[in-house]
Amino acid sequence: MSATLGTPVRTPSTRRRTRSLVVLATVLAAVVVWVIAIPVLGAEVTIPARPGASERVDLGVVPVLITSTVAALAGWALLAVLERFFRNARAIWTVVAVAVLVLSMPYAPGFTGLERVVLGLLHLTVAAVLIPGMRRTGAR
């Protein structure tokens, strides 16, 4: 691929490196929001102990690390698969990513207002880093 002035050449290795940095930035951003909300501001946020359980546990940093990492890697994997089969992979990926964000917001009953705000901010933070970051790395 030739480069025009100001446009970097995108090789598979630079794309991988950039996407790895996007994953790292996504996870770090989520942890920063968690640190500000929970330890610094003292918000009490609980989540179901496991999917569908009525037992609740405090939201710790480990679930934030795991969930943001899985979300970022899943976004990367989906973009890579779409790039193999579709010329407009970035557009398709962006629509799917925004839909996942909307559907993943804490709408379910059982969350307090504060929990919805903190969880919503975590989701929005992950999306705000992941979506534009991965989108920029997509094949044009």
Q: Is residue 104 part of a domain?
A: yes
**Please, are residues 43 and 37 in contact by the beta-carbon 8 Å criterion?**
yes
pLDDT confidence of residue 17: 92
> Residue 77: how many CA atoms within 13 Å on its side-chain side?
6
pLDDT confidence of residue 93: 95
Neighbour-count burial of 19, counting CB atoms closer than 10 A to its CB (0-12 exposed, 13-18 middle, 19+ buried): buried
For the chain, the domain total comes to: 1
Q: Is residue 6 part of a domain?
A: no
Q: Is residue 1 part of a domain?
A: no
Q: Is residue 5 part of a domain?
A: no
Domain region containing 18: 12-137
Q: Is residue 21 part of a domain?
A: yes
pLDDT confidence of residue 9: 46
pTM for this entry: 0.86
pLDDT confidence of residue 6: 47
State which residues of the chain have pLDDT below 70. Answer: 1-10, 139-140
Q: Over the stretch 81-96, which tens digit does the pLDDT of each residue have? A: 999 999 999 999 999 9
Task: Tell me how far apart the alpha carbons of residues 128 and 88 are, in angstroms, rounded to a whole number.
Answer: 21
